Structure 1
Amino acid sequence: MVALNPPVCEFGRPAIDFDLPGTDGRRYTLADCRGPNGLLVMFICNHCPYVRAIIDRLIRDCRELAGLGIGCVAIMSNDVAAYPEDAPEHMRRWADELGFPFPYLYDEEQTVARAYGAVCTPDFFGYNAGLELQYRGRLDASGRNPAPADARRELFEALRDIARDGRGPGEQTPSIGCSIKWKAENA
């Protein structure tokens, strides 16, 4: 399993629309997911140890961000033929077991991950109310294991500031995670 870091934030890059099925049986678009003060788009998957290390903190932060007017959405783009533990039925079970407070969407064709430039799980894209990219950093200092309980909440603090004044921090530490598992035709 290769650990990758996404590139630095391209401030102002517009969010890209999508129309994807969720684990709840509904379809979701960008407009469905955004909040009045912004949007957090997260590329995650079920099997990645980096995602598993932070999932409880991510759920906590998304619950709090909703109260600040930030919508949150998670997208799973891995090749499920090669990684069956990421298949939609497993996505649905995981989302239900953990009580995801955000839609968990399946990008079967991998076009949304490609359009966003997602490279790993987790990969975070934080947008302001105008859907302009302001954050592409990590959740916190966690890696394959959770950071200490008192670790700085970098993603939460950045999105809180974006909700307040529309701008993300100038200094951002990239996320780290497993590579997106591309289908052979998309690699």
Structure 2
Amino acid sequence: MAVESPATALGAAAPEFTLRGIDGRMHGLHELRGTRGTLVAFICNHCPYVQAVLPRLLRDARELAPLGGNVIAINPNDAEAYPEDSYARMVEVARDWPFPYLHDETQQVARAYGAVCTPDFFGYDAALRLRYRGRLDDQRKSPRDAGRKQPLDDAPRELFEAMQRIASGQLPPPRQYPAMGCSIKWRMA
């Protein structure tokens, strides 16, 4: 079932965290943050929405790095119910990614951020204040999806352009569209 991220008040501080990365080490927000901006992306391995946007997210991360913008990916899904989202599988799928991929095994970080779906994007400025909460672009899944407005290569790069503005000290455009994806697979209480 597809879920949209809710509208979020901008300006909130990024919640601190320490999570295990696919390199086996523990990493914190302040260690991984960018000098001019930080994108926290809640993603997972199995979601078709994540799989569809991943090539564009990888491209955007590579282009944001020289601007002082870092990307941090976090997998919050319940790996017991969804083995494809296990830590071992994370290591397999992400070994060549240009950003850290962290495991939120307790799901406390996703809850602290208010993440609801994968992918769910949170863009922070240099002071770690929320400036963007929304989608990567208007290509919900595949560029072959019925009803798409433009070919993939011509799609406005909403998230990249917002983070580019944040890195240059500007505010992103005031209109931000919600992210859409699979609901986070929460553990049963």
Is the structural similarity TM-score above 0.5? yes
Give unmatched runs, 5+ long, in structure 2.
Answer: 144-150
Partner of 1:148: 152
Aligned to 1:94: 93
User: Where does residue 178 of structure 2 map in the other structure?
Assistant: 174
Deviation per CA, 1:59-79: give whole Å up to 9, x if none. 000011111101110000000
Give the counterpart of 2:118 among 116, 121, 126: 121
- 1:134 is paired with a residue of what secondary structure? strand
Separation in structure 2 between the aligned mates of residue 108 and residue 141 of structure 1, nearest angstrom? 30
The alignment covers a number of residue pairs equal to 182
SS of match in other structure, 2:40: strand
Q: TM-score scaled by structure 2? A: 0.94
Report if the CA contact (8 A) 1:50-1:178 is conserved.
yes
- What is the CA–CA distance in structure 2 between the aligned matches of 1:25 and 1:129, rounded to whole Å? 27
Unaligned runs of 5+ in 1: none
Amino acid at match of 1:9: T
Q: Distance in 1 between matches of 2:153 and 2:50?
A: 16
Report the CA distance between 1:108 and its aligned residue.
0.4
1:168 deviates by 2.2
Aligned-partner Cα distance in 2 for 1:10–1:126: 12
What do the CA deviations read for 1:110-163 (whole angstroms, capped 9, x no partner)?
000000000000000000011100000111111121362210000000000001
The two structures have a TM-score, normalised by structure 1, of 0.95
AA of the residue aligned to 2:3: L
The structural deviation recorded for 1:165 is 1.6
1:9 Cα deviation (Å)? 3.2
Kindly indicate whether residue 33 of structure 2 is the aligned counterpart of residue 30 of structure 1: no
Match of 2:9 in 1: 10
Q: CA shift at 1:19, angstroms?
A: 0.4
CA distance in structure 1 between the partners assigned to 2:31 and 2:71 by the alignment: 10
1:162 maps to 166
Q: Deviation per CA, 1:68-105, whole angstroms, max 9, x where unpaired?
A: 10111000000011100000110000002xx2111000
Shift >4 Å, 4+ stretches: none
Which residue does the alignment assign to 1:105? 102
Tell me which of 164, 171, 183 is aligned to 2:187. 183
Aligned identity (percent) is 55
Measured after TM superposition, the shift of residue 166 of structure 1 is 4.3
Matches within 5 A, 1:48-63: 48-63=47-62
Alpha-carbon distance between aligned partners in 2 of 1:144 and 1:61, rounded to the nearest angstrom: 17
Does structure 1 residue 130 correspond to structure 2 residue 134? Answer: no
